[in-house]
Structure 1
Amino acid sequence: MKSKAGEHHQKICTVSFLDSLLVLLLAVPSAQSWLAGRCNVYEDKNYWFKEVSCRGEKLIAECFGVTDIREDLKGLPPNLLSLCVDMDPHLPDTPLDSGLFSRFVSLEFLNINGCFSQIQAGAFQGLSNLTGLQLFSQWSDSSAGCCESAFGSSVFHHLTALKMLDIALYNLTTMALDAFEGIPELELFQIHVCIEDWSEVICRLTRLNVVHEFTLIAHHIGILKHPDCTKWNISTGGSSFLCNLSNPNLLFNKIEKIEQGALTYFGDLAHITLETWPGVSVLMYLSLFGFSKITNLSVMGYQIDLGELCQLSERYSAEEVGVNFEIINTSSLVAVTGCNKLKAVYLYSMGIIEHRYLYMNDFLSFTNLSSLAVMSILLDPLDLRSICLSSPLSVQHLSSLTINKSNLTKLVSDQFTCFFSLETVDLSCDRISEIEEFAFRGLDQVQILDLQQNIIRHIRKHTFSGLFALTYLDLHENPISQIETRSFEHLTNLQQFLLGDLNFSPTDPNIRLNLTDVFGEIPSRLGHLFISSGLRPMQLAIGTYGTRGKLNQSLSLHINGQYVMVEDCESSLLESVVTLRINSGQVLCGSEFIGSYTRRVEYLQFISTFPEDVGDIKAINQLVHLRKLSLENIDLSKQPYAAVMLHNLSKLESLALTNCRIDFLDGSLTKDLKSLKLMVLSLKDTVKIFSNFAENLSSLKYLYFSHLRLHCNCDNAWLISWAQNSKLVEVHMRDPSIKEMECLAKNGIDHHKFVQYTKEDCSFEAQFVLFASTSLSVVMFMLAVVFHRLAGPYVLPLYYIVHGWFQEALRKDSKRRYRYDAFVSYSGQDEQWVVEKLLPNLENRGPPFLRLCLHTRDFQLGQDIVENITDSLYSSHRTLCLVSRNYLRSNWCSLELQLATCRLQVEHRDILILVFLEKIPSKMLSAHHRLARLVKTRTYLAWPQKAELQDEFWERMWNKLKPKTGN
Structure 2
Amino acid sequence: LLLIKSNSLQCFTSMRLLLCLLLLLSIFSDVTALISKQCITFEEHLLSDIGRTVPCTHLPELGPYGECNINDFQTDLSEVQQEIRSLCIFTHAKVIPANAFSRLTTLQFLYITGHQVRRVHSGAFSGLLNLKYLHVYFNDSGCSSVIMDTPVFAGLDHVEQLSLEGLRWSGVPNTTFDHLVGLVRLVLDTICVQELGEVLCRFSNDTFHLKHLTLKNSGITSIRSTGCPSRSKAWPLTVLAEVQTLEITGDPIRIIATNSLAVFRNLSSLTLSFYGVWLGSIWESGIRKVSKLELSGITLNEYHTNFKDLCHLVSQLRLQSLELTHVTLDTLSKEDIDNCGTELKKLSVCNSKIQHLDPRFWTSIAGLQILNMAHIELTTAPFCFAGNGTMWNLTTLGLWHNRLTVVKTNQFICMPLLEQLLLNDNWIKILEPAAFTGLFHLKVLKLNSNRIKVLAVNDFDSLRALEILLIDNNVIENIEHGVFRNQDELRELTLGRLEYVYTLHLSVLFYGFPEKMQRLCIDAHYGTNIYIGSIGQPNSSFILELNGDILIISDYSSPFFESVRELKLNGSLFLFKLYFFVPYFSNLESLEVLGNPEKVYINYNGISKLRYLKRLKLINLNFSNHTNPDITFWNLKLLRILVLYNCRLSFLTKRMFRDLQSLELLRLHSVSPLILHDGMFDVLPALREVVLDRVDFRCDCENGWLLEWAESSRQVQVIYMQHQQCILQYEKWNFLATMEKLCQTGMQYLCYLGTASTITLLVSASVSYRFAYWPCVVLFFRLRGYVERKIGRRIRKRRRPRQEEDYLEEEAEMKYDAFVSFSSHDEAWVFGELAPRLEEQGQPRLRLCLHNRDFEVGKGIVDNIAESIYSSRRTVCVLTRRYLRSDWCGLEMRMATHRLLEEQKHRLILIFLEHISPFELSAFHRLSKLVKSHTYLDWPQDESERIHFWERLRRNIAAEGRDI
Q: Common fold, TM-score beyond 0.5?
A: yes
Deviation of 1:568 after TM superposition, in Å, equals: 2.5
Provide the residue aligned with 2:295 in structure 1: 299
Q: 1:341 aligns with which of 339, 343, 367?
A: 343
Deviation of 1:308 after TM superposition, in Å, equals: 4.0
What SS is found at the alignment partner of 2:202? Answer: helix
Provide the residue aligned with 2:70 in structure 1: 66
Letter in 1 for 2:72: D
Supply the distance in 2 between the matched residues of 1:540 and 1:496 (Cα, whole angstroms): 18
Provide the residue aligned with 1:271 in structure 2: 269
Q: CA 1:37–1:644 in structure 2 vs 1: closer, same or farther (change >3 Å)?
A: closer
Deviation of 1:172 after TM superposition, in Å, equals: 4.0
Matched, 1:366 2:368: no
Deviation of 1:633 after TM superposition, in Å, equals: 0.5
Deviation of 1:763 after TM superposition, in Å, equals: 1.9
The answer (yes or no) to whether the contact 1:691–1:719 under 8 Å persists in 2 is yes
Provide the residue aligned with 2:330 in structure 1: 329
Deviation of 1:667 after TM superposition, in Å, equals: 0.8
Q: 1:566 aligns with which of 549, 553, 577?
A: 553
Supply the distance in 2 between the matched residues of 1:86 and 1:428 (Cα, whole angstroms): 37
Q: CA 1:250–1:135 in structure 2 vs 1: closer, same or farther (change >3 Å)?
A: same
Provide the residue aligned with 2:153 in structure 1: 156
Supply the distance in 1 between the matched residues of 2:329 and 2:266 (Cα, whole angstroms): 28
Matched, 1:177 2:174: yes
Matched, 1:537 2:545: no
Q: CA 1:223–1:655 in structure 2 vs 1: closer, same or farther (change >3 Å)?
A: same
Deviation of 1:429 after TM superposition, in Å, equals: 0.5
Deviation of 1:70 after TM superposition, in Å, equals: 1.9
Provide the residue aligned with 1:31 in structure 2: none
Matched, 1:552 2:539: yes
Supply the distance in 2 between the matched residues of 1:128 and 1:151 (Cα, whole angstroms): 19
Provide the residue aligned with 2:942 in structure 1: none
Deviations 1:530-562 (A, max 9, x none): 11122x1010001124x4xx6334121111111
What SS is found at the alignment partner of 1:719? Answer: helix
Provide the residue aligned with 2:480 in structure 1: 484
Q: 1:154-553 to 2 correspondence within 5 Å?
A: 155-192=152-189, 193-211=191-209, 213-217=211-215, 219-237=218-236, 240-251=238-249, 253-277=251-275, 280-287=276-283, 289-301=285-297, 303-304=299-300, 305-325=306-326, 327-331=328-332, 334-339=335-340, 340-350=342-352, 352-355=353-356, 358-379=357-378, 381=380, 383-387=382-386, 389-392=388-391, 395-396=392-393, 398-504=394-500, 511-534=502-525, 536-545=526-535, 547=536, 551-553=538-540
Supply the distance in 2 between the matched residues of 1:173 and 1:684 (Cα, whole angstroms): 50
Provide the residue aligned with 1:646 in structure 2: 633
Deviation of 1:761 after TM superposition, in Å, equals: 1.9
Q: CA 1:630–1:230 in structure 2 vs 1: closer, same or farther (change >3 Å)?
A: same
Q: CA 1:710–1:36 in structure 2 vs 1: closer, same or farther (change >3 Å)?
A: same
Supply the distance in 1 between the matched residues of 2:511 and 2:546 (Cα, whole angstroms): 21
Unaligned runs of 5+ in 2: 1-34, 301-305, 759-964
Provide the residue aligned with 1:24 in structure 2: none
Deviation of 1:117 after TM superposition, in Å, equals: 4.5
Deviates more, 1:611-620 or 1:461-470: 611-620
Letter in 1 for 2:372: A
Letter in 2 for 1:205: F
Deviation of 1:157 after TM superposition, in Å, equals: 4.3
- Structure 1 runs of 4+ with >6 Å offset: 771-775
Deviation of 1:207 after TM superposition, in Å, equals: 2.9
Q: 1:22-101 to 2 correspondence within 5 Å?
A: 38-44=38-44, 45-49=46-50, 51=52, 53-57=57-61, 59-88=63-92, 91=93, 93-97=94-98, 99-101=99-101
Q: 2:585 aligns with which of 598, 613, 631?
A: 598
The answer (yes or no) to whether the contact 2:248–2:273 under 8 Å persists in 1 is no
Letter in 2 for 1:517: V
The answer (yes or no) to whether the contact 1:416–1:439 under 8 Å persists in 2 is yes
Letter in 2 for 1:461: V
The answer (yes or no) to whether the contact 2:255–2:277 under 8 Å persists in 1 is no
Q: 1:487-886 to 2 correspondence within 5 Å?
A: 487-504=483-500, 511-534=502-525, 536-545=526-535, 547=536, 551-611=538-598, 613-724=600-711, 726-733=713-720, 738=722, 741-745=724-728, 747=729, 749-765=730-746, 767=748, 770=751
Deviations 1:768-821 (A, max 9, x none): 57479999x9xxxxxxxxxxxxxxxxxxxxxxxxxxxxxxxxxxxxxxxxxxxx
The answer (yes or no) to whether the contact 1:136–1:169 under 8 Å persists in 2 is yes
Deviation of 1:332 after TM superposition, in Å, equals: 5.7
Supply the distance in 2 between the matched residues of 1:765 and 1:759 (Cα, whole angstroms): 12
Supply the distance in 2 between the matched residues of 1:323 and 1:729 (Cα, whole angstroms): 52
Q: CA 1:310–1:302 in structure 2 vs 1: closer, same or farther (change >3 Å)?
A: closer
Letter in 1 for 2:239: F
Deviation of 1:94 after TM superposition, in Å, equals: 1.4
What SS is found at the alignment partner of 1:322? Answer: strand
Deviation of 1:726 after TM superposition, in Å, equals: 3.1
Supply the distance in 2 between the matched residues of 1:76 and 1:335 (Cα, whole angstroms): 60
What SS is found at the alignment partner of 1:694? Answer: helix
Q: 1:938-949 to 2 correspondence within 5 Å?
A: none
The answer (yes or no) to whether the contact 1:104–1:127 under 8 Å persists in 2 is yes
The answer (yes or no) to whether the contact 2:662–2:684 under 8 Å persists in 1 is yes
Deviation of 1:83 after TM superposition, in Å, equals: 1.0
Provide the residue aligned with 1:901 in structure 2: none
Deviations 1:404-431 (A, max 9, x none): 1221111122222221221111110011
Supply the distance in 2 between the matched residues of 1:289 and 1:497 (Cα, whole angstroms): 49
The answer (yes or no) to whether the contact 1:437–1:464 under 8 Å persists in 2 is no
Deviation of 1:648 after TM superposition, in Å, equals: 0.7
Deviates more, 1:719-728 or 1:417-426: 719-728
Deviation of 1:471 after TM superposition, in Å, equals: 1.1
Supply the distance in 2 between the matched residues of 1:210 and 1:721 (Cα, whole angstroms): 56
The answer (yes or no) to whether the contact 2:247–2:272 under 8 Å persists in 1 is no
Letter in 1 for 2:315: E
TM-score (norm 1): 0.69
The answer (yes or no) to whether the contact 2:331–2:355 under 8 Å persists in 1 is yes
Provide the residue aligned with 1:894 in structure 2: none
What SS is found at the alignment partner of 1:286? Answer: helix
Letter in 2 for 1:628: R
Deviation of 1:702 after TM superposition, in Å, equals: 0.8
Q: CA 1:185–1:477 in structure 2 vs 1: closer, same or farther (change >3 Å)?
A: same
The answer (yes or no) to whether the contact 2:258–2:281 under 8 Å persists in 1 is no
Deviations 1:447-499 (A, max 9, x none): 11111011111111111011111111111111111111211111011111111
Q: CA RMSD in A?
A: 2.8
What SS is found at the alignment partner of 1:260? Answer: coil
The answer (yes or no) to whether the contact 1:139–1:146 under 8 Å persists in 2 is no
Supply the distance in 2 between the matched residues of 1:80 and 1:109 (Cα, whole angstroms): 9
Deviation of 1:654 after TM superposition, in Å, equals: 0.4
Deviation of 1:183 after TM superposition, in Å, equals: 3.7
Q: Number of aligned pairs? A: 710
Deviation of 1:311 after TM superposition, in Å, equals: 2.8
The answer (yes or no) to whether the contact 1:388–1:417 under 8 Å persists in 2 is no
Deviation of 1:79 after TM superposition, in Å, equals: 0.5
Letter in 2 for 1:107: L
The answer (yes or no) to whether the contact 1:515–1:542 under 8 Å persists in 2 is yes
Supply the distance in 1 between the matched residues of 2:660 and 2:75 (Cα, whole angstroms): 34
Q: Percent identity?
A: 24
Unaligned runs of 5+ in 1: 1-34, 506-510, 778-967
Q: CA 1:289–1:137 in structure 2 vs 1: closer, same or farther (change >3 Å)?
A: farther
The answer (yes or no) to whether the contact 2:178–2:203 under 8 Å persists in 1 is no
